[in-house]
Amino acid sequence: MSRFILPDDQLPTAWFNLLPRLDSPLDPPLHPGTREPVGPDDLAPLFPMALIMREMSAEPWIDIPGEVLDILKLWRPTPLVRAERLEAELGTPARIYFKDESVSPAGSHKPNTAVPQAFYNKQEGIARLSTETGAGQWGSSLSFACAQFGLECMVYMVRASYEQKPYRKAMMELWGGHVVPSPVDDPDSPGSLGAAISDAVRDCVQRDDTHYALGSVLNHVLLHQTIIGLEAKEQLAMAGESGPDVVLGSCGGGSNLGGISFPFVPDEDVRLVAVEPSSCPTLTEGRFEYDFGDVAGMTPLMPMYTLGHDFMPPSIHAGGLRYHGDSPIISKLVRDGRMEAVAYPQGKVFEAAVQFARVEGKIAAPETAHAIRAAIDEALAAKETGEERVILFNYSGHGHLDLSAYDDFVHGRLIEA
Amino acid sequence: MSRFILPDDQLPTAWFNLLPRLDSPLDPPLHPGTREPVGPDDLAPLFPMALIMREMSAEPWIDIPGEVLDILKLWRPTPLVRAERLEAELGTPARIYFKDESVSPAGSHKPNTAVPQAFYNKQEGIARLSTETGAGQWGSSLSFACAQFGLECMVYMVRASYEQKPYRKAMMELWGGHVVPSPVDDPDSPGSLGAAISDAVRDCVQRDDTHYALGSVLNHVLLHQTIIGLEAKEQLAMAGESGPDVVLGSCGGGSNLGGISFPFVPDEDVRLVAVEPSSCPTLTEGRFEYDFGDVAGMTPLMPMYTLGHDFMPPSIHAGGLRYHGDSPIISKLVRDGRMEAVAYPQGKVFEAAVQFARVEGKIAAPETAHAIRAAIDEALAAKETGEERVILFNYSGHGHLDLSAYDDFVHGRLIEA
């Protein structure tokens, strides 16, 4: 027995809200013009009120609407898998579990929040959503979600990815999304996530029928992802474990990491680890301060670790981790010492992904491969000390549309970054 | 509840052999030189004896070795899913179930036979396997399987696919396979499956350490795939169904169709349907006669429906269905009236796949989309007559590496064939 499947009727029906459980309150976002705390009305041009109210909610649990559950059930609950063949290859006494979020329509955890975001916008009479996407995971997830509720979806895709990843664009269009390269006003620029956010926000504020949707960073986004950790907790119990010793996730904006780790924050003995790329080391080398979420400075200022909103990371394959900032909640957990952070260069990351693919048969997204690298290193550390450590990591997405990255690695063409 | 998951300890431990259950014996393959029935020794240069003996075995059940089960457990049992959202969209009283074989390492049913083939070859001391691949599903599956047993894997890939599908090549290389374009002696030819078989057989007979492996057509291959139908039978019972009214599968060489349908052959009320492309209509328009499996006439002659071993189908996206012949068992079932066959042009096939992707969230391989098309048409026929028909089809593979085909369809660039 190496896969643990939660029965369909045990799908969580409420999200886990970490905000009221934090040791001290989160500092508020500030208005980009006045630098005063933003109120709900300031955000109303961008988001539906149902999501805005979740940004600072004090409710410990938030019910998941039935219409959202009906769609999540297409792929949830997702499997928890014990990587026994990897354990044997490493010769470790550790038990390695991963939560398989790659089974969703778009192939990652992103639809977990795309679906409720589309739902709440539809409920408030919005007809169209605009968004940005880097590698394309988020844009394809939102396109899928919009198709479920009959919303139009406008995606500003970082130009470098738009040109390198035609398959992701095809996936978005298959689900009815419209995709244009960003920045829209500079066809010579390769673009960045921060610049694409500016394009999407600009689109939104110019049209009454349109709201903006963000795939990470914000509190309500991470809230929607907590379904991952809630399921994993139940599944570890099915596996006979009293709990994990360490929970790992790759970290760009923080949504897959927050999703798997937040339900474990109250369990004080559980170590939580963010894994990021050395080339975009927000948590390990950034400063904790108020900064914009986008390049143009149109979003509220958020209290977070940041490399500066004009930081331009190198073009590593893990496009989803190329973000200058980080979720304010994740940032606070790291600053408060509740969460650790480590960084790896991409060569070490792909080495781990290839080892995993050979023994476990699964080809991971480059983003996910960061968590695999750290999980393997945790297992090897347990081997050194002879500990029976229980390791849980988030297998946040598959790499079926990232095989050119593996091709570069296998043939020695990967840039070291 | 729309997904039915068989517990890991109910994974079938024996394959279902249809041969001794056929109404009359299957005609034997003939030697390409003498045109006399081939004996086990004639096949020994190509296959391990354990597989050769299965080609004509009279045992009703064949045990699956423990070493094979250990690897199959990485993704099996696979889910049975009820497509309730598709049913609602069609407004049909039919209940539509699909068996999800796309969850395997290579993304299709092919590893079900790649793993035992690699195992039996390893057991007989073989160090290297040669094979052909069209779209790349089989080559990547065998590369994965060879990696599990430390075998070298040499893949001759139809040149047109080699050039159009670099991602499949990258997948094979990630698992350690070697890939070269075929035909090896004519760099100007786009190639064909029949020609690639000739290349792979030629490689095999020139080296003592090498055997040949085939991903479809042969009896032992379809035997390994019956695990699909055996699981589906149990899962339909879990879903409260007394059985399917109709079982559908796309058909190129016949392996995914045989896999899901053979365990239902003894259930006389169950209709069995092969779905093929109009542009390669082996069962619907071919002749039943002895023919070679390859272009060069190096393989034994097999009794099957065929379009002629030099037939060159147009370059449709469903590369796995571009084969001139068909499994002898499938051919016999069709000839005897136990199985039906239908053919569809690819435009109608992609239309169904896009509808499926929008409501069920899953992007199918172009081959698999043939089964989806036929399942939708069965459901619409049930709507006409008001029948509560139970439809089961094989979701044989995902289309994550076929998104350029969807791009062509969405933008009206699909050739009509």
Residue B211 CA to residue B198 CA, distance in Å, equals: 13
Searching chain A, which residue's CA lies closest to the CA of residue B72?
A361
CA–CA distances in Å: residue A239 to residues A1, A2, A391: 9, 9, 13
What are the DSSP calls for B318-365, one per residue?
Answer: -GGG--S---HHHHHHHHTTSEEEEEE-HHHHHHHHHHHHHHH---B-
A9 → closest Cβ in B1, B173, B411: B1
Q: How far is A66 from chain B (nearest CA, A)?
A: 14
Q: What angle do CA B233, B237, B238 make, to 5 degrees?
A: 115
Cβ burial, residue A388 (10 Å; 0-12/13-18/19+): exposed
**What is the average pLDDT across B66-92?**
97
The answer to whether B23 touches B336, Cβ cutoff 8 Å, is: yes
Contact A8 B3 (CB under 8 A): yes
Q: Which residues of B touch A169 (CB under 8 A)?
A: 407
How do strand B80-82 and strand B3-4 relate by DSSP bridges?
antiparallel
Residue A375 CA to residue A344 CA, distance in Å, equals: 12
Mark out chain B residues that contact chain A at CB-CB < 8 A: 1-3, 5, 8-9, 73-75, 85, 103-105, 107, 111, 144, 147, 166-167, 169-171, 173-176, 354, 357-358, 360-363, 398, 400-401, 403-404, 406-407, 410-411
Residue A186 CA to residue A184 CA, distance in Å, equals: 6
**pLDDT at B130 (0 to 100):** 98
Q: Does residue B225 register a pLDDT over 70?
A: yes
Q: Which two tokens stand for residue A392?
A: 């849980």
Q: Which residues of A touch B118 (CB under 8 A)?
A: none
Mark out chain A residues that contact chain B at CB-CB < 8 A: 1-3, 5, 8-9, 73-75, 85, 103-105, 107, 111, 144, 147, 166-171, 173-176, 354, 357-358, 360-363, 398, 400-401, 403-404, 406-407, 410-411
Please report, as a single letter, which amino acid is at residue A368: T
Q: Which residues of A touch B410 (CB under 8 A)?
A: 170, 173-174
Q: Which two tokens stand for residue B219?
A: 């009896």
What is the rounded end-to-end Cα distance, in angstroms, of chain A? 39
Quick check: helix, strand or coil at residue B132? strand
Q: How many C-beta atoms surround the C-beta of residue B136 within 10 A? A: 31
Q: Does residue B141 register a pLDDT over 70?
A: yes
| pLDDT tens per residue, range A253-278 | 999 999 999 999 999 999 999 999 99
Q: Which residues of A touch B411 (CB under 8 A)?
A: 173
**What is the average pLDDT across B319-339?**
95
Q: Which two tokens stand for residue B124?
A: 């007989």
User: Percent of chain B at pLDDT above 90?
Assistant: 90
Q: Does residue B4 register a pLDDT over 90?
A: yes
Q: How far is A135 from chain B (nearest CA, A)?
A: 15
Beta strand segments in B183-235, E: 210-212
Q: How far is B86 from chain A (nearest CA, A)?
A: 11
**Can you state the angle between helices A137-149 and A111-123, rounded to 10 degrees?**
40
Instruction: From B318, B338, B156, B297, select the one nearest B253 (Cα to Cα).
Output: B318
Contact A74 B363 (CB under 8 A): no
The answer to whether A209 touches A126, Cβ cutoff 8 Å, is: yes
Q: Does residue B105 register a pLDDT over 60?
A: yes
Residue B13 CA to residue B376 CA, distance in Å, equals: 33
Contact A175 B358 (CB under 8 A): yes
Q: Does residue B341 register a pLDDT over 60?
A: yes
**What is the average pLDDT across B246-257?**
97
Contact A173 B407 (CB under 8 A): yes
CA–CA distances in Å: residue A16 to residues A111, A220, A262, A339, B136: 17, 11, 8, 18, 43
Can you give the pTM of this predicted structure?
0.96
- Residue labelled with tokens 């410990």: A60
Number of H helices, E strands in chain A: 17, 15
Chains A, B: CB contacts within 8 A come to 111
Which residue has better confidence, B416 or B139?
A: B139
ipTM value: 0.95
| pLDDT tens per residue, range B153-197 | 999 999 988 998 889 999 999 999 999 999 999 999 988 888 899
Q: Which two tokens stand for residue A85?
A: 């063949």
What one-character DSSP code corresponds to residue A84? Answer: H
**pLDDT at B143 (0 to 100):** 98
**pLDDT at B281 (0 to 100):** 96
Q: Which residues of A touch B6 (CB under 8 A)?
A: none
Searching chain A, which residue's CA lies closest to the CA of residue B76?
A3
Residue A257 CA to residue A134 CA, distance in Å, equals: 18
**pLDDT at A2 (0 to 100):** 86
Q: Does residue B1 register a pLDDT over 50?
A: no
The answer to whether B254 touches B216, Cβ cutoff 8 Å, is: yes
How do strand B152-158 and strand B178-182 relate by DSSP bridges?
parallel
Q: Which of A363, A401, A413 to mutate to test the interface with B (most CBs of B within 10 A)?
A: A363
Searching chain B, which residue's CA lies closest to the CA of residue A103?
B103
The answer to whether A11 touches A77, Cβ cutoff 8 Å, is: yes
Q: How far is A269 from chain B (nearest CA, A)?
A: 31
Three-class SS of A307-350: CCCCCCCCCCCCHHHCCCCCCHHHHHHHHCCCCEEEEECHHHHH
**What is the average pLDDT across B258-278?**
98
Instruction: From B283, B307, B310, B305, select the one nearest B294 (Cα to Cα).
Output: B310
Q: Which residues of A touch B174 (CB under 8 A)?
A: 354, 357-358, 363, 403, 406, 410
Q: How far is B360 from chain A (nearest CA, A)?
A: 7
Q: How far is A393 from chain B (nearest CA, A)?
A: 17
**pLDDT at B415 (0 to 100):** 78
Contact A403 B174 (CB under 8 A): yes
**pLDDT at B6 (0 to 100):** 94
Q: How far is B83 from chain A (nearest CA, A)?
A: 9
Quick check: helix, strand or coil at residue A89? helix
Q: Which of A117-131, B76-90, B100-114, B299-313 has the lowest mean pLDDT?
A: B299-313
How do strand B152-158 and strand B128-133 relate by DSSP bridges?
parallel
Please report, as a single letter, which amino acid is at residue B44: A
Which stretches in chain A have pLDDT values below 70?
A: 1
Which residue has better confidence, A342 or B295?
A: A342
- The sign of the CA dihedral A241, A242, A248, A254 is positive
**pLDDT at A162 (0 to 100):** 92
Contact A75 B361 (CB under 8 A): yes
How do strand B210-212 and strand B128-133 relate by DSSP bridges?
parallel
Q: In B62-102, which residue ranges form alpha helices assigned H by DSSP?
A: 66-72, 84-90
Searching chain B, which residue's CA lies closest to the CA of residue A140?
B361
Q: How far is A183 from chain B (nearest CA, A)?
A: 23
**What is the average pLDDT across B30-58?**
94
Instruction: From A299, A298, A317, A322, select the one nearest A363 (Cα to Cα).
Output: A317
